[in-house]
Amino acid sequence: MSTTTVAPPLTRAGPPPQPQLRRNRRRIRPARILLYAFLTTVALGWLAPLLLAVYASLRPYQETAKYGYFSWPHKLSLHYYSEAWSGADMPRYFKNTLIIAVPAVLLTLFLASFVAFALSRFKVPGRKTLLVMFTAGNLLPPQVMVTPLYTAYTKIPLPEWASSSLTLYDSYLGVIAIHVAFQTGFCVFVLYNYMQTIPIELTEAAVVDGAGVWRQYWQVILPLTRPALGALATLEFTWIYNDFLWALVLMTSGDKLPVTSALNNLRGEFFTDYNLLAAGSVLVALPTLIVFFALQKQFISGLTLGANKG
């Protein structure tokens, strides 16, 4: 006798129940709120003078004198900008500033990168001491060196095509030289630490391929330091562009002074229109903003790569 088993009827199973998704909400800590509030306050504190200068430059002086600088505007115009551009002869002073700033930045970065390459890739005796000396030079107040530099500049001869005074004093070359001397130490320090993060095997492979010192520097190491060079170029141009002390001390011809001294031409003998002066200040600040936004990508990548490596 055979027994047969009947299979139970197949039932179409429904979709498996899906687990409920839990949203991991990140808790906002009070410390983070305080940090954001502090950073926002500091940012607004830095922006407030610039915004006030822009606001004042768009208003007539009679209006701000009557109602105050923090009052609601009755009339806004760009008249002061055109007056500051022509009244202070800014095109000539902008040209003077570029004659000083551009060569100074290029020379500083070239010399600093080559020195940093030598200190980071070759066993130079006392390289740590040299690095400390380069860095310590930035700690010396520039005001201490005003009198010795003035005396030395007036005694160093130059040909007539390089200086109308026949000395290093009152020449573009003298101002460029002092900027290069003061800024090279900081750039050497930054580039040395950045080049330390580049593998030594790259230069060893270049040596095996027959590359000399210059080729190792120019074709191997220098392209890899482009982010750091972009960040330093932004900082150096801003510092040299904004300098007022050295041009004032080491130059005597008014037609050679940089743009930072052109604002003095907007001051009257008995009366100063501060709204006009604010418009001139905004015009003077524009090139540094243009340079920052043009090199913003390199500037940020240079800072972040330098922080992540090593």
190: tokens are 């930054």
**Are residues 63 and 169 located together in one domain of the fold?**
no
Average pLDDT (126-137) is 80
CATH (domain of 174): 1.10.3720.10
Q: Is residue 24 part of a domain?
A: no
Q: What is the pTM of this model?
A: 0.80
- Local confidence band at 58 (pLDDT 50, 70, 90 cut-offs): very high
Looking at the fold, whether 63 and 171 belong to one and the same domain comes out as no
Neighbours of 93 (CB within 10 A): 22
**What pLDDT sits at residue 309?**
47
Torsion of CA 127, 129, 131, 132, to 10 degrees: 170
Residues 51 and 98 in one domain: no
CA separation for the pair 280, 99 (Å, rounded) = 20
Do 144 and 50 lie in a common domain?
A: no
Residue 124 lies in a domain: yes
How many domains does the chain contain in total?
2
Does residue 80 form part of some domain?
no
Residue 83 lies in a domain: no
- Domain-embedded: residue 11: no
Portion of the chain with pLDDT greater than 90, in percent: 41
The verdict on 61 and 207 lying in the same domain is no
Q: Are residues 126 and 42 in the same domain?
A: no
| C-beta separation of 195 from 116 below 8 A | yes
Mean pLDDT score across all residues of the chain: 85
More confident residue, 191 or 131: 191
The angle that helices 127-136 and 172-195 make with each other, rounded to 10 degrees, is 130
pLDDT band at residue 21 under the 50/70/90 scheme: very low
**DSSP string for residues in 42-60:** HHHHHHHHHHHHHHHHTS-
Do 146 and 184 fall within a single domain? yes
pLDDT of 19 reads 52
- What pLDDT, on a 0 to 100 scale, did the predictor assign at position 269? 66
In this structure, the answer to whether residues 205 and 275 fall within a common structural domain is: yes
Are both 150 and 262 inside the same structural domain? yes
Domain containing 279 equals 89-308
Asked if pLDDT for residue 108 goes beyond 90, the answer is: yes
Categorize the per-residue pLDDT at 43 as very low, low, confident or very high, splitting at 50, 70 and 90. very high
